[in-house]
Each structure stands twice: as structure tokens, then as C-alpha cells.
Structure 1
Amino acid sequence: MPDSRYSDLERPPLSEAALNRALVRPGSLWTALTVVDSTGSTNADLAAAARDGAPEGTVLVAESQQAGRGRLGRAWSAPPRSGLTFSILLRPTVPVAAQGWLSLLYGVAAASAVRRLAEVDVRLKWPNDLLIGERKLAGVLAERADDAVIIGMGLNVSLREDELPVETATSLAVEKAACADRDPLLRAVLREVESHYREWTQAGGDAEASGLRSAYLASNATIGRRVRIELPGDRTLTGLATGVDLAGHLLVEAGGERHTLSAGDVVHVRPAG
């Protein structure tokens, strides 16, 4: 249900027609863009569409999402039209072993686009959370659907402080960003994703040769930090994050050993005092 405190002037709806005119054109990665008022999960909807043969470059945007999911199955929600909630469908032709980089690629592209347009210092927490300082601005979730990869993002745009889901979250409005207009932000993110995706696929999924790994490291806020990793099975690992390997895995030094992690929830540990 729309929030009656906000008019269309304060939180305007997105124009599907205008976005298609701007993004869907011959030679573009983006082949179709749909905006819906509400859905359960854009990732789930696009996964079903992928299994039905939807083409690469399909984009689904929801003004409100009722059953959104973050990493590790966490629930995710926001007031209608207060953020950007959307998913993209990709059918990469690179080796499956390289496709773990896709969610990191998306994070790099989104952070770059938001940093440039909103003029805020956005950094990445491994693998792909967008941070301003230590507060979360956006989350990214990648999932496989047969031979397709669905990547969804929830970006907090006009959320006020009292609307944030947790105290560790933030929004472009809270950060007094130069741009809190969802339309240009969505266009910028999708164009940046397309640019990085083309470079990465042309390099056969090689993150080093395409420049993706160096771009990721340049935007990363985790490397060099003491971290606590919450692992599957209620296990934790605390140590120093030292790098990201060629597969995109996080390298952590703990107890005199080097650990290579492909999954886990990262907490940046503040220095004592």
C-alpha cells in the first residue's frame, strides 16, 4: 500500500516508456525493461522468466517488493518508491568457473555509477554490499536459473532516518547526496553494468585481463580490515582480510593460516578503543 505521507511529486513513479527509450536500443545489452507497481521478488520473477526463455538483458523493476530477499535468505523490504528495487537477467557465455565474478562486477558498476552521480564515497564490503562509511546503502543478490544468472539490487534512495530498516543502513537522502532521483540513478547503474559486462565477457570472464579485479580492489572497503566472517553452520572466523584471489574469493589470515572464503557474511571489526 502506498505511503500516504508522500505524493507522486515527492516519490514519483518511474516511467517504463522513458526508461525503455533511453536504454533499449539496437546493439544495447538491455532488451526489455518492465516496471511493475508491486511484486513478491524481482529475482524470483526473472528466474521464472529465464526458465521460460526470456532473453539476456531483460530488466524487471518493482516500485514495491513484498517478499524481497537479501543474502543468506534475509527478508528485505522498503516503503514504495523509496528506493530502486530491480533485477537483471544475464546469459554469460564465459566459463562457469568465472561466473562467480558477476555479483562483484555488478557491485563495482553500481558503486561507480552512484559515486559519480550522487557524489558520495561509496565503497564495497565483500562480496558486493554498497557502503557509505560503515552503513549499508545497497545490497546485491545473484542467483542461478538454469543457464542464466539473475542479479538483483535494492538501493536505498529517499528513505528517511526513521524509515531505515536497521541502524546500520543508510540512504542517499540521509547522506544528503547530490542526486536522489531514481530515474537517472537506474539509467547510470545499468549503463555501467553494461560497460563492465562487455569488457569482462570479451576477456572470456578473466577478471584480471578485463581490469575487473583491479577495479574491485580499488573500490573495496574490506581489504586490510580486521573482519569477523559468519560462516554456514553457525561458525565464525575472525582475522585480517588480505585480498581477493583470481576467483573473487576473500583471503583472510587467522591463527597463522590463510583461509580462502567463497561465501560468508562479513562484519568489519572496529579497532579497540
Structure 2
Amino acid sequence: MTEPNDPSSRWSDLERPPLNVRALRHGLIRPGGLWTSLDVVTATGSTNSDLAARAAAGVAEGAVLVAEEQTAGRGRLDRRWSAPARSGLFFSVLLRPGADVPVHRLGWLPLLTGVAVATGLARAAGVDTSLKWPNDLLVTVDGEERKAGGILAERAGDDAVVVGIGLNVSLRTPELPVPTAGSLVLADAVSLDRDTLLRAVLRSLERWYGEWRAAGGDPGASGLQEAYAAGCATLGRVVRAELPGDRELVGEAVAIDGDGRLVLRTPDGERHAVGAGDIVHVRGA
């Protein structure tokens, strides 16, 4: 039997109750829907790594893996992501777009996920979430934009993509990994119920993914390109794109092109499209 102060106990932090797996499955898994399975583990290194292994074993599209605590969560460029147990949402989903979507359109999946998360949080948490290209989720804390989450999409075999989402929900100021980070509680969210938030995000993701896939991955026809541009905090700002090899490109972010790349207009009037795979950092200049 676990003791009340044992981190593995469901009573170790009464302000951070465990997810209700049975209720989540009941609310999300249905015949004909995208989500086919949902598992919650107490702790793991990385839900992306674990779900990629399941993908290699042939698990069906729509598998969802949630961790109450991630001990080795990863972001872009192998950056680490960690937070106290049950203080956020740390989960991955398995998608198999298959022949419906050309390979060159798969780069839209992290951007699509960003739109879905922002849409779901607006409804469930009453928080205005903006998107920093290519994969950061921003909230406003005391008038300042702060990163509250991130998205990581990785290929898993020939036909599968694992998309991981990390979102700070109830992290208090002393718990933040860096002072510039944020969370939903610091952004004055109207709800911190992780069950409610997870259902809202997954339902939003199901809707956006379904429309994008039905359009053959076309970001224009599916409305995705317009929606992302509307919620992208990077557009309209002068930014410095740090590139591999100690190179940099400074210009105004003016558009997201059809391949999901950020288009910068440099002072000489030239336009340059940079892809997420080419970027080390995009910072305000």
C-alpha cells in the first residue's frame, strides 16, 4: 500500500488528482471515431518513444498514451521537458495518414496540432493560446507572452507519425523550469480540470485532423493554413532565425507558405522560406 506522501499515490497531491481513465475512454472512444485506445501510465521517460515502439508493433491509428509524469520528455532538437507529477498534460497520439496525404504535407501535422490545442483550450479553459512557429504554445501571464507547452512530431516507420504534446496546467511560479515559462493557472484559466482539458484537446484534434486528411493534406482547402496564420504570434514580427553552421537570417515574418515554412522578408525586400528542420531558434530581433 502506498503512503500519502508517496509520489505514486493518488492522494499524494489532492490539488492534482489523477486522470479518470474510464471516463476519458467513455468520452473519446467510439465506433467510427479517430481515437481507438487510451492508456494512462503513472510515469515514463517519453510518451513519444513508448508510442513509437507500439507503432512498430502495429498498434492501430488513434492510440493515445498519457503519462501522469514524464521523466525524459523531449522537445525539438532533443531539448528536455519535465514537470511535477500530474501538473500538466503529457501525452502522445499515433496518426497514420496513409495514402490520403502526400509525404510532403506531413510537415503540417505539428502546426495542425497547435491549432487544435489552441482551439480546445479556448473552449475548455477560456485561455487565449497563441502559436510561436513552429511548435510552441504561448499564454499571457501578467501581460507577457510565455511558453506553456510544446509539440513534437516524429515519423514512426513508413506510414505512422507520433505527435507528442506537453502542456503546463497547474505549475506554480516556483515550479516553473525557467522564469520565462508559463502555465494555465498563471494565465488565469477558468478550468484546470485535466480530464476536461484533455477531452477538449483530443476532440479538437480529431476534428482538425479529419478535415485536413479529407482534403488530402491541403492546408488551404482544409482551412488549416488560414487558422494557423490567424493564431501565429510570430507573424508580423521581426525575428532572427538561427540556422545550423552559425548562420542567421533576420527579417519580418510575413507568411506561412503551403509547406508550413515560415517566410521572412529581409531588409533588401527578398523573401526567404525556412523550414522547421532548418531552424535552431526563432527569436525576436
Please give the TM-score of this superposition, normalised by the length of structure 2: 0.91
1:8 Cα deviation from its structure 2 partner? 4.1
User: Aligned match of 1:66 in 68, 71, 81?
Assistant: 71
The 4+ residue runs of structure 1 with deviation greater than 4 A are none
Give the corresponding residue for 2:215: 203
Gaps of 5+ in 2: 1-5
1:183 Cα deviation from its structure 2 partner? 0.6
1:9 Cα deviation from its structure 2 partner? 2.4
Report if aligned partners of 1:137, 1:170 keep a CA contact under 8 Å in 2. yes
Cα-to-partner distance string for 1:183-238 (whole Å, 9 max, x where unaligned): 10000000000000110011011000011101111111111101111222333222
Partner letter of residue 146 of structure 2? R
Report if aligned partners of 1:3, 1:79 keep a CA contact under 8 Å in 2. no
Cα RMSD between the aligned structures? 1.5
Report if aligned partners of 1:2, 1:79 keep a CA contact under 8 Å in 2. no
Alpha-carbon distance in structure 2 between the residues aligned to 1:167 and 1:8: 23
SS of aligned partner of 1:198: helix
The yes-or-no answer on 1:85 pairing with 2:90 is yes
User: Aligned match of 1:136 in 135, 140, 147?
Assistant: 147
Give the corresponding residue for 1:157: 169
The yes-or-no answer on 1:17 pairing with 2:28 is no
SS of aligned partner of 1:19: helix
Please give the TM-score of this superposition, normalised by the length of structure 1: 0.95
Alpha-carbon distance in structure 2 between the residues aligned to 1:118 and 1:235: 40
User: Aligned match of 1:259 in 249, 252, 272?
Assistant: 272
Partner letter of residue 240 of structure 2? R
Give the corresponding residue for 1:36: 41
Report if aligned partners of 1:62, 1:86 keep a CA contact under 8 Å in 2. yes
1:3 Cα deviation from its structure 2 partner? 9.1
Report if aligned partners of 2:73, 2:80 keep a CA contact under 8 Å in 1. yes
Give the corresponding residue for 1:109: 116
Give the corresponding residue for 2:81: 76
1:245 Cα deviation from its structure 2 partner? 0.4
- CA gap of 1:47–1:3, structure 2 versus 1, over 3 A, is closer
1:266 Cα deviation from its structure 2 partner? 1.5
- How many residues are aligned here? 268
Alpha-carbon distance in structure 1 between the residues aligned to 2:66 and 2:169: 14
